[in-house]
Structure 1
Amino acid sequence: MMLIPGIVLVVIFSYVPMAGLIMAFQKYIPNRGLFGSPFIGMKNFQLLIDYPDIGRIFFNTVYIAVMKIIAGLVVPITVAILLNELRREWIKRTFQTLVYLPHFLSWVLLSGILVDVLSPSSGILNQFLGLLGIQPIFFLGSNAWFPYAMVLSDVWKEFGFGTIVYLAALTNINPSLYEAAEIDGAGRWKQTFHITLPGMMPIVILMLTLNIGNVLNAGFEQIFNLYSPPVYESADIIDTFVYRMGVQQAQFGFATAVGLLKSVVSFILIAISYVLAYRVANYRIF
């Protein structure tokens, strides 16, 4: 009974809309509907292959997503290990709460904050750089800086959640291992490398496995709220491209073809990552 509401939501919002995938093989005309629009076979996919900027769009997606995955693993793991070394429990809990708060804020709200903070004229970050004698940087208007601004802001928003996950993994490590290592003369660094990190490895593999399927998900909501035409060269990803083609330019069939291709590739990546996690680390997700 408890599963029924969740199953109903998944069916309505995840499975029923899959009927719209037929648009990828149609010249979709809204007033004719899914079954009245003419079929054109694979022409939408041919248009996708011939589209001049499609290579750059896929590169931007993978580039930003991979950087987010790497940073989203390294930063929370590091912070979790550092927090684990704190002996005052109230300091640890206070810091956990502070870094976890941004996770609950939407990108609509955070984008307004970031626009103000990163403004080249009045942003606090550029004012600080000015004190160091560095010229103002247009982080959200420069193709050189925009991808890194997206990665750093995403890490700032989400690393608190990841930190809690890895702190929970640390609680499963047997404290007697640290005591034995200390008796053998191992310092904190050696204990970290030989006990803490190996003890965290199962959850690290799990998180990495889950994230590999997101290689083509660079964060639509974040980029959509922060990018602009001057940075399309480095900021345009598959999801924003699908939005512009499908919603703004009403090329429904073409946009559906792009989305379908992305979904197929993501499914293959998830399957591969699951097999690798099982064979390399003998870890099963289910």
Structure 2
Amino acid sequence: MARYNSEKISMANTFLSDKTRVGCIGLGIMGLPAAKNLQRAGYTVSAYARRPESTKTLGGTVASYSSPKELGAVCDVVVINVSDTPDVEEVTLGKNGLVHGMKPGSAIIDMSTISPATTRHVAEKLAEKDITFLDAPVSGGQKGAIDGTLTIMVGGSVDMFTKAQPLLAAMGKTITHIGTSGAGQVAKACNQIIIGATIEGVAEAMVLAQKNGVDAAAVREALLGGFAGSKVLEMHAPRMLHNNFTPGFKSVLHEKDMKIALTNGGENNLSLPAAELFLQRLQALIALGGGDLDSTAIYKVITGEKP
């Protein structure tokens, strides 16, 4: 395992510099700020998006390409931020995928959250063309993406991981090599289980305080000083108490991530009851029309109120 802090990254032993041609696929809640941070770091960024007009949000003159294949042909490295496993398969291995355009020796960094098994399959297919695939899912939400402080969990080639440090450091702060292809996605599944279980616990605690007529905000303040303290309690309990569920991470996407974790658990003959409970909460929220709300809105499912 190798771990880096972005403040300590040097340019030594890297092939990525501010002259590197970087492509970005996916300019949504996470992808857009990642691309902007790459621009701020001095990289010339080109893009492909299903909605070409979204590339205008990068500002300035950004080259926009009509397919991943065309984008890949002019890039040394492509960073992917898309929603789901089929999307990654399409932009990498599809008819007009990156595999058909990128040159030998180039690299793809996938920051999406997808199936570990599919990640390994994509990496194997790309390796046949001498294209390195790093799975690099993140934690830190929209704010972390904007601030460039994401936690990045990486699977794949150690050599490419080391070479890619300046680029990764433009988008994240804590950057850890977990293991071989798919290991980053396994780490992200573990991350989502812990976050989901903690959101559930915090929501239950806030509701319990309120049902007892106790000031839930004061309970939060007290708990932050003890072992119950967490980023979820710090940042998300106020969202629950003020009914602020503007998405940092949409419930429908968190649902997708929990399904990935549970599928992987099944492949390893594991029962994951905390993950199962949180998935049920998310599915109930989505059924009530809250799929585009932040996943902390499961608080509303527990209170029995309409989201």
TM > 0.5 fold call: no
Q: TM-score, normalised by structure 2?
A: 0.28
Higher relative contact order (CA 8 A, sep 6+): 1
By percentage of residues, which structure has more helix? 1
TM-score (norm 1): 0.30
Point out the structure with max Rg over C-alpha: 1
